[in-house]
Structure 1
Amino acid sequence: MERNDSVLSKDTFLKGALILTVAGIVVKIIGSVNRILLSRLLGGEGVGLYQMAYPIYLLALSISSAGIPVAISIIVAEKLARGDYRGAGRVFRISLGVLAVTGLLFTFVLYYGAGWLIEHHFVRDARAYYAIAALAPAIFFVTVLSSYRGYFQGLQMMTPTAVSQIFEQLFRVITMIAFAYILLPQGLEFAAAGASFGAGPGAVAGLMVLLYFYWRHKPGFTHKMKMQPPLPQESGIRIISRIVKLALPVSLANIMLPVVSNIDLLIVPARLEVAGYSVEQATELFGYLTGMAVPLVNLATILTASLAASLVPAVSEAYTLGNKQLIYQRIATAMRISNLITIPSFVGMWLLATPISLLLYGTPNAGTSIAILAVGIVLLGMHQVTTGVLQGLGHTAIPVINMGISAIGKIIMSWVLTAVPALGIMGAAWATVADFGVAALLNIFFVYRYVGFSLNLNDTCKALAASAVMGVAVLLSYDAIMSHLLHNSLATLGSIVVGGTVFGVVLLLIGGIEVRDIEQLPRIGGKLAAVLTKLRLLRR
């Protein structure tokens, strides 16, 4: 059931995912520039002070607001599916009030708790006090911001969220660098505090963008509220209860991620020493895995993370309408798109692991970790998409439980495999892949249980076949360019371009891309689909 009225201007979930993906890439580029500039300005010591404060801020933010946007988007999508515009507006207003209170509460907790953290030596360097206190105001604005984002995602309008993410990151980086530069003469601790303070103005900028979109769409939405027939409304207590019930598991999942990372920090280096490595070697290998290989896997799954976010309200809407066929169709489309992105990414990163390591990090030594974690790209993509499906169905606790089970398995495997001299850091990498795999398989089981969905082997085989041909082209092109130019960077970039082109062409020839996939691309989709159909590369 699609609503084409101007008040909603609803995106299809695939178009919404692409919008969020583009925003995610832009945000990561801005963030990369920020890390470079901040490192040069503050040096290792100053960045260290900043990094002592930032995880505490993220933890406070996770407790105060994480999971709320998902909960709001589920309930708002459910209300709109029933034509209850008053109910959707009421959910937003109540959630906004609750989040404003919790945001203000945690702002004061972090500001006044900064001294306590220093006094009790939870933060070892007393100079980090200023950086922690400077982050406190951002919690209120980011928490309020999350309510607006959840509301727009429930409307299946991803553009406001995407634009606000870009503006938030841009203003955050500008103010971080500016304040750090201005305060540097006062001392390194004040410069680090200036960098921390940038999170506040960034959140205000993102909030201003969302307020603009809100007021722009409010008249049409208000008209819809007035025109709808009388419908029974949930009480405020009931709405708050539902938000908490849906949001709490998502918040636990967000908290679990840094917890597992910290467990890795405790286990992997220590077990590498048991395997026979020195402290310095263990630290170096741990850096290759967590600081170089893991970010590449996360980069390769930006689209699948966006698909998951876009799927939540789309599945919730279809589930509310009782349209199982639409749920199945949306899951199938998301999984097919996920495989079309993650399978070739896995093959390319696996084959070019060492050249990519040399290109990005100036060392070939991260190649082994990158090659192993490349396998996890497909599994992580499946996990993200199925998590979005289960959340959209209202089963937000299931992905968290599955993550907990997979994390226990990861800890056991890391403890055992990393200490094996023949494996070392490869054991830790395989444990991470197993973590992704177990979580994905458990999610897939529950999606099948609730919806009856299973992977389409025909579509998956087409993606595998195109990726195999692409892999041959990647190896041949890399060897050819290297033999003539002897330049790794040009050979790596050139072979990636060749591989991507070959993958796309082969996929078109074997019918792995459908007309509707192309048509849903923003702006150019319709024209591009028409051209490819005319050339008989696409079939209707």
Structure 2
Amino acid sequence: MDSSKTKTGRNLVVQGSILALASIIVRLIGIVYRIPLTNIVGNEGMGYYGFAFEVYQILVILSTSAIPVAVSKLTAARVAKREYKNAQRIFRCSIIFAAVLSGTLALITFVGARQISSFMFGGITEVAPALRVLAPTVFVCAVMGVFRGYTQGLGNMAPTGLSQVVEQIFNAIVSVAAAAILISRGAAYGAAGGTMGTFMGAVSSLVFLYFVYSANRKGLNQRMKKDPTKKLMEDKEIYRLIGLTVIPLILTSTIYQISSLLDSALFSNILKAIGYQSSFISSLYGIYSSKYQLLINLPLGITSALSVAMMPGIAGAIALNRKDQVREQMDMVIRMTMLIAIPCAVGVAVMGGPIMQMLFNDSTTLPGRMLIVGAVTIIFYALSTLTSTILQASNHMRVPVINAAISLGVHIVFTVVLLAFANLHIFALIYGNIVFSFCMCVLNLRSLSKLIDYRLDIQKMCGATFVASVIMGVVTFLVYKGCIYVIHSNILSTLIAIIIAVVVYALFMVLTRGVTEDELYMFPKGETLVRILYRMHLL
């Protein structure tokens, strides 16, 4: 076993695990608070909430989402060369850059909320109150993103993970309380109350990150005193680097998210043109945004954590021209992503309906059917996001932008045809997302092969995982049906089936050598895990 490779892999997995654990906690809190929020404002209110968030997500991407990745990449490259003073200058300039950009967008959104809502969603102006509440959140999130990116660039994911948990706790409490207070004024204001939690959550996270930064300032100052760097970067050069790094990231993320915004706009406008009422359109989209996407995005948050954890390592290795280390990290993170994404997709397809019934007391078949159809997007989105990050970290910044633009064009045509002529309603959006994410996967993998001679070994990366996941899915379905027959409780049957699913998947991965001993060593407490498996004669 290569000790240096194992150490590198273990650090990646540990840092990724910190963010993944935080992501799981955040999304579980999200599921928990969405239940009372949905009950308070109803499907119509959640539709307004979902429409407002589509616009908000675009604003966040334009001013915020690329900042943590860009700051992380630029900081990691300087830290790898022990240029701590330049890393600090990058941090300072990034805050100014983020504040100016996000502040401008926030002001425009707040003033023009009603006009934006009317234009985007076929005259549904009830979205405006929620959008006005979300506008200042854009500014807070941008500054918060700089703090997160800086700590990530230093190789520490814990502040980001903890701040995400703090943010979601405040978000949950304030969202439910504000929605309950404002719902008396109508569904639109109930939705606005729900978005108020997003603002307060972002503020609490920023305050937390500032205290973390202040607590570590002494150590950072000591590093800078020992920094031998003689030539410091000028502000003009830093802003240029930030711009060159941020713009491709923003474009890629914007195209990813704009597909969702376009979906909501096309869905509302086309269905309204056909003759459907606004309340029906909003209710149907509310099921899609607050129930379907909530479950689909849970595993995607976990796989995205590995992408974030990978960025500083690849950026640092490239700065030091260590090509072998770059390839090792690529192999490792793709493998780990597939270990999570494939079983999650199978699990969501098999257990989506029972989980919806357990969480939202929704016994209708629509959410379950939506999840059966759309579960495969978990795999495609996880892999497309990851390969985009790899290309960007490898300094091929524009390639994912081009690939995303091509995929978006195919997606729009496909979705419009299905909405207008196939009478598929909400399923048109789901099929469109499958097409978009699949195209991104194919184009990104083709680019990796062409630009850096990296070819995905599907058998090695996915073969055993796919077999174990299918077996897990069959066993889980049978266990659930058996439990329902015996105990007649959906909640208990669902929980038992999920626990059995985890155990069955883990056992089959070990027994079929789908996960190797070396890979097990990379996990936190890997030595203990391997020792236990040897005692059980499973290794």
Quickly name the TM-score band, shorter chain normalised: 0.7 to 0.9
Q: How does 1:27-426 map to 2 (within 5 A)?
A: 27-41=26-40, 54-114=53-113, 131-179=130-178, 196-265=195-264, 267=266, 292-352=291-351, 354-356=353-355, 358-360=357-359, 361-416=362-417
User: Secondary structure of the equivalent of 1:366?
Assistant: helix
More moved, 322-331 vs 462-471: 462-471
Is 1:432 the counterpart of 2:437 in the alignment? no
CA displacement 1:301-331 (0-9 Å, x = unmatched): 2221111111221211111111111111111
Listed as ranges, the matches of 1:13-32 within 5 Å are 13-32=12-31
Offset at residue 29 of structure 1 (A): 2.7
- The alignment partner of 2:346 has SS state of helix
Write the letter of the residue equivalent to 2:170: F
* CA-CA distance at 1:407 after TM superposition: 1.8
Residues 117/342 of structure 1: CA separation in 2 closer, same or farther (3 Å cut) = closer
* TM-aligned CA distance change 1:289 to 1:484, over 3 Å: same
User: Which amino acid is the alignment partner of residue 442 of structure 1?
Assistant: L
Q: Residue 463 of structure 2 aligns with which residue?
A: 461
Displacement after TM superposition at 1:194 (Å):
5.5
Aligned to 1:7: none
Q: What residue is the counterpart of 2:443 in the other structure?
A: 442
Distance 2:519 2:10 in 1: 14
**Distance in 1, Cα, partners of 2:174 & 2:122:** 25
Does the residue aligned with 1:301 lie in a helix, a strand or coil?
helix
Give the aligned length.
531
Q: Using a 3 Å threshold, how does the CA distance of structure 1 residues 530 and 171 change in structure 2: closer, same or farther?
A: same
**What is the CA distance between 1:102 and its match in structure 2?**
3.2
User: Does the CA contact (< 8 Å) of 2:10 and 2:522 recur in 1?
Assistant: no
Distance 2:18 2:85 in 1: 28
Q: CA contact under 8 A between 1:463 and 1:512: conserved in structure 2?
A: yes
Structure 1 residues 422 and 237, CA gap change in structure 2 (3 angstroms):
closer
Q: After superposition, what is the alpha-carbon deviation per residue over 1:84-116, rounded to whole angstroms, capped at 9, x for unaligned?
A: 112211111111222233344444444444577
Q: CA deviation at 1:377?
A: 2.2
**Deviation string, structure 1 residues 485-521 (Cα, Å, up to 9, x no partner):** 3544444433332222111111111222234443444
Equivalent residue letter for 2:407: S
8 Å contact from structure 1 (residues 117, 123) kept in 2: no
CA distance in 1, matches of 2:30, 2:162: 15
Cα distance in 1 for residues equivalent to 2:274 and 2:16: 43
Q: Distance in 2 between matches of 1:183 and 1:353?
A: 32
Following TM superposition, by how much is the alpha carbon of 1:480 offset from its aligned partner in structure 2, in angstroms? 3.0
| CA distance, structure 1, for counterparts of residue 429 and residue 188 of structure 2 | 36
- Mark the CA change 1:202 to 1:346 in structure 2 (over 3 Å): closer, same or farther: closer
Q: What is the Cα deviation at residue 71 of structure 1?
A: 0.9
Q: Give the Cα separation in 1 of the matches to 2:193 and 2:237.
A: 42
TM-score, scaled relative to structure 1: 0.84
More RCO (CA 8 Å, sep 6+): 2
Structure 1 residues 193-223: Cα deviation after superposition (integer angstroms, max 9, x where no partner) = 6654444432221112212222232222222
Q: Are the equivalent residues in 1 in contact too, given 2:136–2:199 (CA < 8 A)?
A: yes
Question: 1:6 maps to what in 2?
Answer: none
- Equivalent residues in 2 for 1:512-531, closer than 5 Å: 512-522=514-524, 524-531=525-532
Specify whether residues 527 and 312 from structure 1 end up closer, same or farther in structure 2 by C-alpha distance, changes over 3 A only: same
Compute the TM-score of the two structures, normalised by the length of structure 2: 0.84
Counterparts in 2 of 1:262 and 1:89: CA distance versus 1, 3 Å: closer
Structure 1 residue ranges without an equivalent (≥5): 4-9
Matched, 1:510 2:512: yes
CA change 1:60–1:123 in 2 (3 A) is farther
Distance across 2 between alignment mates of 1:17 and 1:207: 22
Answer whether contact 2:85 2:229 (CA < 8 A) is retained.
no
Which amino acid is 2:511 matched to? L
Counterpart Cα distance in 1 of 2:185 and 2:272: 42
Aligned residues: CA RMSD = 4.0
Q: Find the counterpart in structure 2 of residue 474 from structure 1.
A: 476
Q: Does structure 1 conserve the Cα–Cα contact (< 8 Å) formed by 2:292 and 2:370? A: yes
* Aligned 8 A contact 2:122 2:265 in 1: no
Change (3 A) 1:429 1:138: closer
Q: Which runs of 5+ in 2 are unaligned?
A: none
> Match of 1:145, as an amino acid?
M
The whole-number CA distance in structure 2 between the counterparts of 1:223 and 1:472 is 57
After alignment, is 216-225 or 352-361 more displaced? 352-361
